[in-house]
Structure 1
Amino acid sequence: MPDLAQSTFVLPQDAALTSAQAALKQHIYDFIITNYSRRQTHLLIISGDAGSGKSVVLDAAFAQLQQAARADGGTLAGTDNKLLVNHNEMLKIYKEIAGTKTYFRKKDFMKPTPFINAYRKLGKKADVVFIDEGHLLLTAPDPYNNFRDTNQLADILHLAKLVVLVFDFHQLVKLKSFWTPALLKRVTRDYPVTHYRLTEQMRVGDAAVSHWIDQFVRGRITPMPQSTSFDFRIFADGQPMYQLIQQRDAAVGLSRMIATADYPFTVLDNKTWYVTAGSLRLPWDKINFTDRPWAQRPETLHEVGSIYTIQGFDLNYAGVILGPSLGYDRQRDRLTVNLAQYQDKEAFKKRPNLADTQDAKAAIMMNAINILLKRAKHGLYLYAADPALRERLLEGTKR
């Protein structure tokens, strides 16, 4: 099996959790032991920015839980536990992990809707349910995916004794899974809730660059950080950026082009759609029917990835194309968003019960940018399609 630790949340064999991650793992175990025998469902919510290592800890904690569940004796022996993730690419990784560990079964890992439907039909509760990428849980009916209720988390809380939920409001990318703090509070108000936050940044290898990204997705362009540990560059054209990505991939691997959803595409046909960045023209990624993560497949070096293929995964170097939906207002020195340019129609499907969809759509667009900009461990390269924004970013490199 290829090394999953290269681009996923799987730790290399010789690596260990950081002290902060180990503390969270212990906190999860203590939460389970303390609350397992109680009659009321308890909820632990783990938050943290993209790249803070949430999935790494969840994987390690679930491994500890399942080892105890499949032991011959002990408090948790024989417990029925599940890890849910509403993300096809990440589910593939979890199921592949299951095939390599004696204490895992592939049935331990599911998408939320099949879990809800199965346990409702059985008329039973799971003991402990872990939810990775909980911000992808649906908050509206989705008949296409056989979910006809109004909130997946509400259903899961009814079908589990304990729930451990990983959640990040800055990674919401669709209206049908759009959460607000008020909605999360309303769904969980009848349950005892414990909160835990991870604050480390395990991906972007320079604190100043991470801060620049945080400001950027809030609409502000701050002075370009000068880093010796992280290669951060702005490009006037996409072709030289792609050439550098190819060089990086040849040298260290896991270097890919990714882009905002500003370029036309369809999912369920065989047509090839393209992304342009100045003189560069590359095809969009396509549905991945293999069991390998998109970035680990050699042929994807010649494609452009999206949030749907890269969310939750790591790159060494990322070449990010910021499409025409992201602009720049020189008078205010602020970023602007043009909702009409965004081509991810699935993300903007109508939500009649959502009061202000314009603000929600703008937040989704900036969340997608945050996800893309925080994929890489060692280097980030940017190209902006909007001329005014490109000029402003290039100005920052000369200061």
Structure 2
Amino acid sequence: MVNRFQQHLDNPAKSELQVAEVIVDATFNKSVCLDLESYLINLSSGDDGNRTLNRNDGQVNRNYYNRSFYQARFHEIFEDLHARGIFTKSRTEIENSEMFKYSPFKALNEDQLSVVSDVMDGLADDLRHPVEGNQVAVVQGDPGTGKTIVATFLVKLLADLGSPMHGADDDNDSMFSDFFAAGIRELFRDLRTGLVVPMQDLRETLTRVFRSTPGLSPDMVLSPREVGLNDERYDLLVVDEAHRLSQFGAQSIGTLTKEFREINETLFHGERPQASQLDWIRAKSDNTVLMVDTSQTVKPIDLASSVLTALMDAERTYILHSQMRSIGGNDYIDYVKQVLSPAPPEARMDFRPYTVGLVDDPRELVRIIREKDAAHGLSRLVAGYAWDWVSKKDKEAFDIHLAHDVNLRWNSTIRDWINSPKSLEEAGSIHTVQGHDLNFTGVIFGPDLRYDLENERLYISRDDYRDRTGKRNNAMAGRNTTDDMLLEFITNIYYVMMTRGIHGTYIHVVDPGLREYLGRYFPVMG
């Protein structure tokens, strides 16, 4: 133990530490100790009163005999440390925090570790034997499989490999310890690395996480636009939510459309006037890792699923299988996808302890979500974009009008809406929750999505879908947004919303036909 303490003190990043807390339990074997270490590192990374100095070399969610018994003991240990001020927040507060959810110190499951290891092996090979042009790796995963965690973990691991503060550790048997060995880590010295995040809300969240993480910088979190405009070249760009990268086409405001053209001209000298943001990223980096889910494209301007599918067929592709968010597991995620598809499930399924069901009275839906938030935190209402955003200009107006005089406003901010003061009184759109976790979600299916009971099919009401940029044609690229395409985008939106909740989802449906259809697959709860 003394030797281990000395190893820590020999590290310049830890040489100023003055106090060591020793946890002793005669029943703890090595597996238990490593699991406890991972547990405390995870919680420490989400606690404002602590600064985590450990390098990122593979905290693992291990399975071993009687693990549930020991984990109950871990909670007791945490409570003791919390009572003595070593942790400043409660466990619930930490686990609901963005730092905990997106921390690069997060313990990975075996599935995620395998993907990170494979990506690192491929990157090391590319660095040893560089070739002309951009090398791409694609990580595909359903909602809740931890794509963002893999992305942040990978960037932190590379930062630690490039830092002189983190040397080789002979006593470390982690999955990534070999990368810290002499002769290998030199491959990763002085790499210029960035994390590209297309969605503003998630990008700002990850910027805060990087600002609070030793070894990372908020400047490492980039928008696609910043990559295109930046004169610098990158050794590696990791792209989270890559399915939300933009095609060539009209942007939200005219100046951005003009800028899009200018970036294409600068990067490709007139040879590729219709290049996409993905093309920018590949042109500005030697290596690219894309985190994708082709079922989460939600606008005509998003990269076409066919583009991502072609990449997965042609490049190194790694699949994340294990569900990390929903306690309903992969079965729930797949079930929702089927319900919102032309090939629904043959029978209703039960996902307990995950809670999912229909709430016909919107007053009850509002009550349930507020009650869940009071008990567990991070419980919010979300809705399809089937109502105009009147309150954007008229702060006293309501936007969403439901039965029984239930009136709601859209999210009053697009920045960190989930944690904003008014969020519990409002409904969030897809743009406020994609990429985020909630404990419980109340999903309002608006009149934009309907069900034809006679012909047994889902269909859309184009007039009731109020996101103008979400349904307009891409005239600049010569592509029209058909009803079939719009049906795919709208069902993807509801699919994303239905898969935000960790513990449960409550559903309110406006269209009577859709209500009857969904009633075949989800029980009525209120």
* TM-score, with length taken from structure 2: 0.69
Alpha-carbon shift at residue 4 of structure 1 (Å): 7.3
> How far apart are the structure 2 equivalents of 1:346 and 1:74?
47
Residue in 2 that maps onto 1:250: 374
Residue in 1 that maps onto 2:304: 179
Letter in 2 for 1:17: L
Higher alpha-carbon deviation: 218-227 or 126-135 = 218-227
Residue in 2 that maps onto 1:44: 137
Name whichever structure is richer in strand by fraction: 1
Alpha-carbon shift at residue 66 of structure 1 (Å): 1.5
Residue in 2 that maps onto 1:319: 442
Q: Which is greater in Rg?
A: 2
Letter in 2 for 1:36: L
8 Å contact 1:239–1:277 — kept in the other structure? no
Letter in 2 for 1:245: I
> How far apart are the structure 1 equivalents of 2:450 and 2:246?
30
> How far apart are the structure 2 equivalents of 1:161 and 1:202?
31
Alpha-carbon shift at residue 106 of structure 1 (Å): 1.4
Could you tell me which runs of 5 or more consecutive residues in structure 2 were left unpaired when the two chains were aligned. 1-47, 49-88, 166-184, 265-273
Alpha-carbon shift at residue 7 of structure 1 (Å): 6.0
Within the candidate set 261, 265, 279, 1:154 is matched to: 279
Residue in 2 that maps onto 1:6: 96
Task: Give the 5 Å matches for 1:129-144.
Answer: 129-141=237-249, 142=251, 143-144=254-255
> How far apart are the structure 2 equivalents of 1:386 and 1:15?
41
Residue in 2 that maps onto 1:125: 233
Could you tell me which runs of 5 or more consecutive residues in structure 1 were left unpaired when the two chains were aligned. none
> How far apart are the structure 2 equivalents of 1:112 and 1:161?
16
Specify whether residues 144 and 359 from structure 1 end up closer, same or farther in structure 2 by C-alpha distance, changes over 3 A only: farther
> How far apart are the structure 1 equivalents of 2:435 and 2:447?
25
Higher alpha-carbon deviation: 384-393 or 52-61 = 384-393
Residue in 2 that maps onto 1:204: 326
> How far apart are the structure 2 equivalents of 1:266 and 1:34?
54
> How far apart are the structure 1 equivalents of 2:189 and 2:391?
43
8 Å contact 1:47–1:167 — kept in the other structure? yes
Specify whether residues 162 and 192 from structure 1 end up closer, same or farther in structure 2 by C-alpha distance, changes over 3 A only: farther
Deviations 1:329-357 (A, max 9, x none): 21233322222210111212321332663
Task: Give the 5 Å matches for 1:342-381.
Answer: 342-352=465-475, 353-354=478-479, 357-381=482-506
Residue in 2 that maps onto 1:31: 122
Letter in 2 for 1:239: R
Residue in 2 that maps onto 1:93: 205
Specify whether residues 268 and 238 from structure 1 end up closer, same or farther in structure 2 by C-alpha distance, changes over 3 A only: closer
Letter in 1 for 2:320: L
8 Å contact 1:43–1:192 — kept in the other structure? no
Residue in 2 that maps onto 1:195: 317
Higher relative contact order (CA 8 A, sep 6+): 1
Classify the secondary structure of the residue corresponding to 1:361.
helix
> How far apart are the structure 1 equivalents of 2:302 and 2:123?
27
Alpha-carbon shift at residue 228 of structure 1 (Å): 2.6
Residue in 1 that maps onto 2:160: 67
Specify whether residues 224 and 214 from structure 1 end up closer, same or farther in structure 2 by C-alpha distance, changes over 3 A only: same
Letter in 2 for 1:99: R
Alpha-carbon shift at residue 395 of structure 1 (Å): 5.7
Letter in 2 for 1:28: V
Specify whether residues 391 and 11 from structure 1 end up closer, same or farther in structure 2 by C-alpha distance, changes over 3 A only: same
Task: Give the 5 Å matches for 1:292-331.
Answer: 293-331=416-454
Specify whether residues 373 and 129 from structure 1 end up closer, same or farther in structure 2 by C-alpha distance, changes over 3 A only: same
Specify whether residues 185 and 214 from structure 1 end up closer, same or farther in structure 2 by C-alpha distance, changes over 3 A only: closer
Residues 1:286 and 2:421 aligned together? no
> How far apart are the structure 1 equivalents of 2:223 and 2:434?
16
Percent identity, please: 23
